C-alpha cells in the first residue's frame, strides 16, 4: 500500500516538502532579461579565485539566475550576491553542506510531524472526523517553505553552491561519485524550482479530500444478497474499496464450497463502483440489503428506490487533476504532472515504463501461466482471476483459521507494536538491531486499509497504520500490516543509517514497495506456519509474475486516463467516467480478454489509488520487478545483513541503486524467464 502515505511517507514526504518549479510568466526573471548578468557573475568569480572550478560555478550561477525574480533585486544585486555567497574552498563548502543538512532535518522533520498530527483524525480509527478535522487535514504546513527560502535568499545560496543535476547527468556521472558528492547532488535538488504557495495548498487540499473519500468508502458485505436472496458473507463484514474487496476475493480461492459464488458477487460490486451504478445509499450502510447483480435495494425484505452515486468518484479524480495541472505553468522543465510523476518522482521516463509494461503483458508467458491457472482451478478463467491467489502457500489455508491465529496474537494495534521486534528477529536481525529499529516505529489503528508514514528526523518515529477489527487483527489486516512494516524498516534504515541526511530514503516509491513486498511474502513464516513445498521457488515466481500482469494493466489505464485529461482539460465527471471506462475496456480487450475471456470488462479501473494518489500506481509493478530481483539476490544470503546494506545506500539514481544492490539494472527479463521455467515445471508435475 502506498506509503504516505503519505499516504503516504518517505520519498513522498521529501518530495512534498521540496520546491516544485520555477515561475513562468507572472513575475519575469530579472536576470533572464539581462543574460550578461550571469556571465558577469562568473567572470567576477574567476577574477576573485584563480583556481575556480568554472564548470561548477557556472552551473550554479545559471540555475540561480533562472529563478531570480524582479522582486529579488537588480542584475547588479544578483552579481554581488553570487560573489559574496559562493563558497570556493572545499572545507567551507562541506561545512555549509553539513549546516544546511542539519537545518533541513529540523524543518522537514517538524513539518512532517505536524502533517501527521493534523491528519490523525482522518487517518486513525476513532470518532468520525468533523468538518474542521478534514479541513485541517488538507492544510499543507510546508506550502510556504519554498517561498520563504527564496525570499530570504537562502535558496539562492544553496543553488549557487550546490547546483542540481539532471537525471541523465546523475545516470552518466553518478557511478563515479562518492557518498558526499551524491549528498551534494541531492542538496541541489532541494531548490531546483519555485511554485507559489497557494498552488501547493490547493493541491494538498484536493488530495486530502480524495483520501477522505476513499478511506471512508466501505461495502457492508453482510448486506449483499444473491439472486436467490442469500447472504454469502458474515453479517458484520465491512470491506473498504478496493483493497478489502480484492483481498476477500483472493481469500475466496480457499473456499471450495462457495468461493466462486462469492468472487462473482464481489466482481459485480466492483463493476457497479467503477461504472458509478452503485446505489449511493448502500455505501457504508449495513441497514439496507443490496443485490449487486440486479442492482436492486431492499429494506426489511421490500424493494426500495435507490439512485446511483452521482459520478463522485470521477469528480474527485478531476479535482486532483486540476490541482496538479495548475502547477504546470511553473514547471517548464517538467511541464505536465505526467512528466513530474515519471521523470521527476520515478526518475524513469513514461515511455520507458510503458514500453516495459506492454512488453511484459504481451509476452507469451502470460498465456502459459493462464493455462496453468485454469488447470489448477478446473474451470475456464473469468475476469476476476487477475487476482488469482493460488500460488501462495496460504491459498490452501482457510481465511477463518488464519484470522483466528492473528486475532489471538494481536488483539489490538499495541500488541502488534509489541510484536515487531520478534518479527525482525525471525527475519535474522540481531536482538539489538531489532530493538533499535522497532523503537523508531509506532503502530496506530487505521481508519482506512493501512499505510506507513516515515519520520523525517531522527528524533521522531515512523508510523504504521493498520486496520484492527473489534475482535482483534484479522488476517487481511495482518497481511497489510506486515507489508507496511517493510516500509517502516526501509524508512528507518534509510533515515538513520545513510551517511548524509539529504540522501535519506530510496530512489523512488517503487524501491520501498519492493521491500514491503518482500516482507509481506513472509507473513506466514512470521506466524510460524512453515511451507515445505519443494516447488516454493516456482510458486513464488508465478505469484509475482501474475501480480505484475494485473497491476501493469491497471497502471496503463491510469496513465492513459491522465493523458486523456490533459487532452480534454475541461471535461466533466461524466465525460471522464466514460473515457476511463473506455480506456479500461480497450486495455482489457488488448491484453486480458484473450487469456481471461469476456470482452469489455472495466475492472482495471477499480483501483482506489487512481483517485486518491495521482499516478502512484505505476510504482507498484516497478516495485514487483525490483522485488523479484531483490529476492533473487537475497536467496542464500544473510537477509538482515543485506537489507541493512542495501537500504542504507540512500537515494541514488534508480538504475545505479539496482546495480549496487543486486548487480543488475531493473528489467522484465529475469521474471519472464523464471515464469516460463516455473509454468513448464508445474505443468509437467501436475
> Which band of pLDDT confidence, cut at 50, 70 and 90, is reported for residue 183?
very high
What DSSP character marks residue 126? S
In this predicted structure, the answer to whether residue 436 has a pLDDT above a threshold of 60 is yes
Q: What's the mean pLDDT in 593-601?
A: 95
For residue 31, the model assigns a pLDDT of 58
Mean pLDDT of 531-559: 92
Q: Where along the chain do its domains lie?
A: 23-192, 218-313, 397-499
pLDDT above 70 as % of the chain: 94
Which of 49-53, 245-249, 466-470, 667-671 is least confident?
Answer: 466-470
- Res. 125: pLDDT tops 70: yes
Mean predicted confidence (pLDDT) in 638-651: 97
Q: Do the Cβ atoms of 160 and 85 come closer than 8 Å?
A: yes
User: What's the pLDDT at 404?
Assistant: 94
H helix intervals, 124-242? 131-137, 145-151, 154-161, 167-173, 179-190, 197-215
pLDDT tens digit sequence for 385-420: 999 999 975 556 778 889 999 999 999 999 999 999
Q: Which residues contact 364 (CB under 8 A, 6 or more apart)?
A: none
What pTM, to 2 d.p., does this model score?
A: 0.81
Higher confidence at residue 14 or residue 454?
454
Q: What are phi and psi of 570, to 5 degrees?
A: -100, 15
d(C-alpha 396, C-alpha 354), whole Å: 35
Residue 571, CB half-sphere, CA atoms under 13 Å: how many? 26
Helix (H) or strand (E) holding 417: helix 413-426
Average pLDDT over residues 543-557: 96
The mean per-residue pLDDT over the stretch 120-144 comes to 89
Asked whether the predicted pLDDT for residue 284 surpasses 80, the reply is yes
Mean pLDDT computed over 632-637? 93
Asked if 200 and 133 count as a contact pair (C-beta separation under 8 A), the reply is no
Mean pLDDT of 79-102: 97
Q: To which H or E segment does residue 324 belong? A: helix 312-325
Model confidence at 22, in pLDDT bands (50, 70, 90)? very low
Among 580, 624, 579, smallest CA distance to 606 is for 580
Tens of pLDDT, residues 345-357: 888 889 999 999 9
Least confident of 83-87, 89-93, 503-507, 527-531: 527-531
With CA atoms as reference, report the closest residue to 472 among 521, 529, 416.
Answer: 416
Mean pLDDT of 430-444: 97
Amino acid at each position: 500500500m502506498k506509503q504516505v502515505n503519505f499516504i503516504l511517507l518517505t520519498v513522498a514526504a521529501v518530495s512534498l516538502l521540496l520546491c516544485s518549479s520555477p515561475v513562468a510568466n507572472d513575475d519575469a526573471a530579472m536576470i533572464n532579461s539581462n543574460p550578461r548578468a550571469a556571465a558577469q557573475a562568473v567572470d567576477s568569480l574567476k577574477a576573485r579565485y584563480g583556481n575556480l572550478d568554472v564548470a561548477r560555478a557556472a552551473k550554479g550561477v545559471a540555475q540561480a539566475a533562472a529563478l531570480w525574480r524582479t522582486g529579488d533585486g537588480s542584475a547588479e544585486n544578483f552579481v554581488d550576491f553570487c560573489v559574496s555567497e559562493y563558497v570556493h574552498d572545499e572545507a567551507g563548502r562541506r561545512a555549509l553542506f553539513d549546516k544546511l543538512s542539519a537545518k533541513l532535518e529540523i524543518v522537514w522533520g517538524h513539518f512532517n510531524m505536524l502533517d501527521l498530527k493534523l491528519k490523525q483524525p482522518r487517518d486513525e480509527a476513532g470518532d468520525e472526523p468533523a468538518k474542521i478535522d478534514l479541513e485541517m487535514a488538507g492544510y499543507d504546513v510546508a506550502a510556504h517553505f519554498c517561498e520563504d527560502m527564496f525570499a530570504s535568499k537562502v535558496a539562492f545560496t544553496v543553488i549557487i553552491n550546490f547546483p542540481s543535476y539532471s537525471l541523465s547527468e546523475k545516470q552518466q556521472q553518478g557511478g563515479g561519485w562518492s557518498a558526499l558528492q551524491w549528498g551534494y547532488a541531492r542538496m541541489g535538488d532541494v531548490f531546483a524550482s519555485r511554485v507559489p504557495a497557494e498552488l501547493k495548498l490547493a493541491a494538498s487540499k484536493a488530495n486530502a479530500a480524495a483520501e477522505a473519500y476513499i478511506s471512508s468508502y466501505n461495502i457492508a458485505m453482510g448486506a449483499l444478497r444473491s439472486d436467490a436472496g442469500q447472504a454469502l458473507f458474515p453479517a458484520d463484514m465491512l470491506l473498504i474499496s478496493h483493497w478489502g474487496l480484492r483481498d476477500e476475493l483472493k481469500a475466496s480461492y480457499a473456499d471450495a464450497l462457495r468461493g466462486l459464488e462469492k468472487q462473482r458477487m464481489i466482481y459485480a460490486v466492483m463493476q457497479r463502483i467503477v461504472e458509478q451504478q452503485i446505489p449511493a445509499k448502500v455505501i457504508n450502510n449495513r441497514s439496507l440489503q443490496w443485490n449487486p447483480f440486479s442492482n436492486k435495494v431492499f429494506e426489511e425484505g421490500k424493494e426500495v428506490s435507490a439512485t446511483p452515486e452521482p459520478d463522485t468518484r470521477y469528480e474527485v479524480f478531476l479535482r486532483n487533476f486540476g490541482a496538479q495541472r495548475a502547477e504546470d505553468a511553473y514547471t517548464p522543465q517538467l511541464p505536465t504532472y505526467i512528466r513530474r510523476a515519471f521523470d521527476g518522482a520515478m526518475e524513469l521516463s513514461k515511455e520507458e515504463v510503458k514500453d516495459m509494461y506492454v512488453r511484459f503483458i504481451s509476452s507469451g508467458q502470460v498465456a502459459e501461466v493462464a493455462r496453468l491457472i485454469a488447470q489448477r482451478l478446473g474451470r475456464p478463467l473469468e475476469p476476476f482471476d487477475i487476482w488469482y491467489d493460488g500460488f501462495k502457500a496460504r491459498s490452501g489455508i482457510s481465511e477463518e483459521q488464519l484470522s483466528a491465529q492473528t486475532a489471538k496474537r494481536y488483539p489490538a494495534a499495541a500488541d502488534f507494536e509489541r510484536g515487531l521486534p520478534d518479527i525482525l528477529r525471525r527475519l535474522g536481525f540481531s536482538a539489538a538491531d531489532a530493538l533499535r529499529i522497532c523503537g523508531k516505529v509506532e503502530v496506530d489503528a487505521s481508519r482506512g486499509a493501512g499505510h506507513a508514514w516515515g519520520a523525517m528526523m531522527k528524533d521522531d518515529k515512523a508510523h504504521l497504520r493498520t486496520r484492527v477489527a473489534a475482535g482483534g487483527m484479522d488476517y487481511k489486516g495482518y497481511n497489510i500490516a506486515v507489508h507496511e512494516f517493510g516500509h517502516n524498516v526501509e524508512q528507518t534504515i534509510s533515515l538513520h543509517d545513510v551517511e548524509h541526511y539529504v540522501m535519506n530514503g530510496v530512489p523512488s516509491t517503487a524501491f520501498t514497495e519492493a521491500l514491503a513486498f518482500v516482507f509481506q511474502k513472509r507473513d506466514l513464516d512470521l506466524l510460524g506456519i512453515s511451507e515445505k513445498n519443494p516447488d516454493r521457488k516456482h510458486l513464488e515466481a508465478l505469484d509475482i509474475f501474475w501480480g505484475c500482469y494485473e497491476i501493469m494493466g491497471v497502471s496503463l489505464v491510469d496513465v492513459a486516463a491522465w493523458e486523456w485529461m490533459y487532452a480534454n482539460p475541461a471535461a466533466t465527471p461524466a465525460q471522464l467516467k466514460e473515457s476511463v471506462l473506455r480506456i479500461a475496456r480497450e486495455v482489457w480487450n488488448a491484453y486480458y480478454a484473450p487469456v481471461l475471456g469476456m470482452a469489455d470488462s472495466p475492472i482495471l479501473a477499480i483501483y482506489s489509488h487512481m483517485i486518491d494518489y495521482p499516478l502512484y500506481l505505476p510504482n507498484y509493478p516497478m516495485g514487483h520487478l525490483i522485488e523479484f530481483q531483490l529476492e533473487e539476490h537475497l536467496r542464500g544470503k544473510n537477509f538482515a545483513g543485506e537489507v541493512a546494506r542495501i537500504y542504507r545506500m540512500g537515494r541514488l539514481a534508480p538504475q545505479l541503486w539496482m546495480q549496487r544492490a543486486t548487480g543488475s539494472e531493473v528489467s522484465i527479463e529475469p521474471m519472464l524467464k523464471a515464469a516460463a521455467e516455473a509454468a513448464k515445471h508445474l505443468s509437467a508435475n501436475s
